[in-house]
Amino acid sequence: MADTTLMDKLVSLCKRRGFVFQSSEIYGGLGSVWDYGPLGVALKRNIKDRWWNSMVHGRDDIEGLDAAILMHPKVWEASGHVAGFTDPLVDCRHCKNRFRADDPRIKGTPGQPDAQCPVCGTRGSLTEPRMFNLMFKTFMGPVEDSAAVVYLRPETAQGIYVNYLNVLQSSRQRIPFGIAQIGKAFRNEITPGNFIFRTREFEQMEMQFFVQPGTDAEWFERWREWRMQWHHSLGLTPAKLQWHQHSGSELAHYARAAFDIQYEFPFGWQEIEGIHNRGDFDLGRHQEYSGKKLEYFDQAQNQRYLPFIVETSAGADRVTLTLLVDAYREEQVEGETRVVLGLHPAVAPIKTGVFPLVKKDGMPEIAATLYHELRQEFACFYDDSGAIGRRYRRMDEAGTPFGVTVDGDTITARTVTVRHRDTMQQERVGLDRVRQYIVDRLGATR
Ligand code: ATP
């Protein structure tokens, strides 16, 4: 399967089956903003739950937080975003399209007569690069003047830094400890694209770990290992995950060390999560700009210091895309193409389909009772329409790992057929055992 075709097929499957829709589609859509349909929201929620479980419920040393999207404008001065969160962009005077100055499709040097617009092909129409801030601005209160400007946060991390003392004191944690948050972030990306890979509104899953200076390198290595393990636990193909180390000019101004976890998408190796050793840059800047002391008094060591921060920052939408890309496959079965999303059972939006083989002989009644019992435990889907093979295929496309069919033997022997999505094998399981049978195979939640 050619790689571009895979993305096209995935986008169409996502729309057809209700994973992802274009935002405001009936008005022609809004550039690089997407909505999650019934299956998509379930998949993304399962990913976020798994992250939250591994970070917050599964550990004693990390607390949760949900900070507001709107923050004091000074936060973004202190963080460096007002001055530095910029990309160089050029405009085409002819067709009015806008590009990043380093867009590989541009031939020649923007601003010079030889430069050629990659869209309309006009020569000499590209402007000199100018810096463009990626933060969305809005106004707070009724007066639209610059005093009332606030930003939609471009990352969730700053909400954690400015609350670090509140969380520390209220939770009675001691360093080393972390704060985890999942929430929306907004970036006015110049070249968004690749479906939900780079969008203007997205969700981040970020954890900031506060450590004693000098222990940061060690914690950084630990977090690197744990984060890669987490991605493996989602069932992603190991050979499609790799590390990318930031070096020299690639390193952000705040970072002492940075590694990305990359996945091999059809459009190349790309970042899905960043792990950064941020030193004391963030707390130092907030201390300076707010005038509030943000030091920690370490009783055991009898010393005061600004903690160093190790950050893990993943995109919930990117991880969702990664899972979809990794799971998509097509097989030839009895002369027909079978489309399967081989999602790990723990993240699959629906865990089990329940089907009466035919709509008679008491089968629908037993199937409906079973369906109501199973859905108390996990997400199920009841389907009694069409040939059983078609019903299985519909569940394959949705990534549902199990199908339970109530048939003639259910009436006589109190057993059901359990059909496995990946192997298409079927086995008979006692009606009273089927709930536990599936629970045992859904995989741990963390
Ligand atoms: P990129 O270089 O791909 O723009 P970045 O280095 O700016 O990413 P970070 O600021 O480190 O990304 O953000 C952390 C994570 O947030 C990324 O690994 C990614 O998963 C997610 N993310 C960042 N920007 C976007 C976006 N525009 N759309 C979707 N997810 C994003």
Looking at the predicted structure, is the pLDDT value of residue 268 above 80?
yes
Of 204-218, 243-257, 357-371, the range with the lowest mean pLDDT is 243-257
pLDDT at 248: 83
What's the gap in Å between 438 CA and the centre of ligand 1?
A: 36
pLDDT at 1: 54
Interatomic CA distance for residues 8 and 146, integer angstroms: 43
Q: Whose CA is nearest to atom 25 of ligand 1?
A: 198
Question: Position of tokens 């806008």?
Answer: 98
Give the full edge-to-edge strand order of the sheet including 177-186: 62-65, 177-186, 201-211, 308-315, 268-279, 257-265, 241-245
Which residue from 133, 188, 204, 234 has its CB within 8 A of the most atoms of ligand 1, so it is best to mutate? 204
pLDDT at 193: 80
- 10 Å CB burial of residue 104 (0-12, 13-18, 19+) is exposed
Question: Position of tokens 């002369």?
Answer: 335
Looking at the predicted structure, is the pLDDT value of residue 446 above 60?
no
Cβ–ligand 1 distance for 198 under 6 Å, the answer: yes
The rounded mean pLDDT for the chain is 94
pLDDT at 3: 64
Closest CA to 20 of 403, 316, 368: 316
Rounded alpha-carbon distances, angstroms, from residue 202 to 141, 155, 184, 407:
25, 10, 6, 45
pLDDT at 87: 85
Contacts of 21 (CB under 8 A, 6+ apart): 14, 15, 34, 35, 36, 37
Percent of the chain scored above 70 by pLDDT? 98
pLDDT at 141: 87
Of 99-103, 220-224, 389-393, 431-435, the range with the lowest mean pLDDT is 99-103
pLDDT at 290: 97
314 and 204 in contact (C-beta within 8 Å)?
Answer: yes
Mean pLDDT of 198-224: 97
Strands (E), 69-200: 86-91, 98-100, 130-133, 136-139, 149-152, 177-186
What's the gap in Å between 270 CA and the centre of ligand 1?
A: 10
Looking at per-residue pLDDT, the higher value among 102 and 33 belongs to 33
Looking at the predicted structure, is the pLDDT value of residue 190 above 90?
no
298 and 306 in contact (C-beta within 8 Å)?
Answer: no
Q: Is the dihedral of CA 175, 177, 183, 189 positive or negative?
A: positive
Cβ–ligand 1 distance for 189 under 6 Å, the answer: yes
Closest CA to 162 of 219, 208, 211: 208
What's the gap in Å between 315 CA and the centre of ligand 1?
A: 6
204 and 315 in contact (C-beta within 8 Å)?
Answer: yes
Helix (H) or strand (E) holding 309: strand 308-315
Mean pLDDT of 356-385: 96
Cβ–ligand 1 distance for 313 under 6 Å, the answer: yes
Q: How many CB atoms lie within 10 A of CB 95?
A: 14
What's the gap in Å between 319 CA and the centre of ligand 1?
A: 11
Rounded alpha-carbon distances, angstroms, from residue 445 to 316, 344, 346, 401:
17, 11, 7, 16
Rounded alpha-carbon distances, angstroms, from residue 229 to 181, 225, 236, 261:
20, 6, 10, 11
Interatomic CA distance for residues 14 and 8, integer angstroms: 10
Interatomic CA distance for residues 423 and 343, integer angstroms: 13
Q: How many CB atoms lie within 10 A of CB 335?
A: 5
Q: Whose CA is nearest to atom 14 of ligand 1?
A: 313
Looking at the predicted structure, is the pLDDT value of residue 162 above 70?
yes
Q: How many CB atoms lie within 10 A of CB 221?
A: 15
Query: Partners of 360 in the beta sheet?
Result: none
Strands (E), 154-240: 177-186, 201-211
Atom of ligand 1 lying closest to residue 271 CA: 18
157 and 208 in contact (C-beta within 8 Å)?
Answer: yes
pLDDT bin (cut points 50, 70, 90) of residue 4 is: low
Mean pLDDT of 393-410: 97
pLDDT at 9: 96
Is the pTM higher than 0.95? The answer reads: no
Which residue from 269, 271, 311, 319 has its CB within 8 A of the most atoms of ligand 1, so it is best to mutate? 271
Cβ–ligand 1 distance for 274 under 6 Å, the answer: yes
92 and 68 in contact (C-beta within 8 Å)?
Answer: no
Looking at the predicted structure, is the pLDDT value of residue 5 above 60?
yes
Helix (H) or strand (E) holding 22: strand 20-22
Torsion of Cα atoms, 404 then 408 then 414 then 415, to 10°: -40
Mean pLDDT of 27-32: 92
| Radius of gyration for the chain, computed over Cα atoms and rounded to the nearest angstrom | 26
What's the gap in Å between 391 CA and the centre of ligand 1?
A: 38
What's the gap in Å between 127 CA and the centre of ligand 1?
A: 27
Atom of ligand 1 lying closest to residue 200 CA: 27
Mean pLDDT of 104-110: 90
Atom of ligand 1 lying closest to residue 313 CA: 14
Looking at the predicted structure, is the pLDDT value of residue 445 above 80?
no
Closest CA to 316 of 226, 398, 230, 425: 230
Query: Partners of 270 in the beta sheet?
Result: 263
Q: Whose CA is nearest to atom 3 of ligand 1?
A: 271
pLDDT bin (cut points 50, 70, 90) of residue 424 is: very high
88 and 131 in contact (C-beta within 8 Å)?
Answer: yes
pLDDT at 75: 97
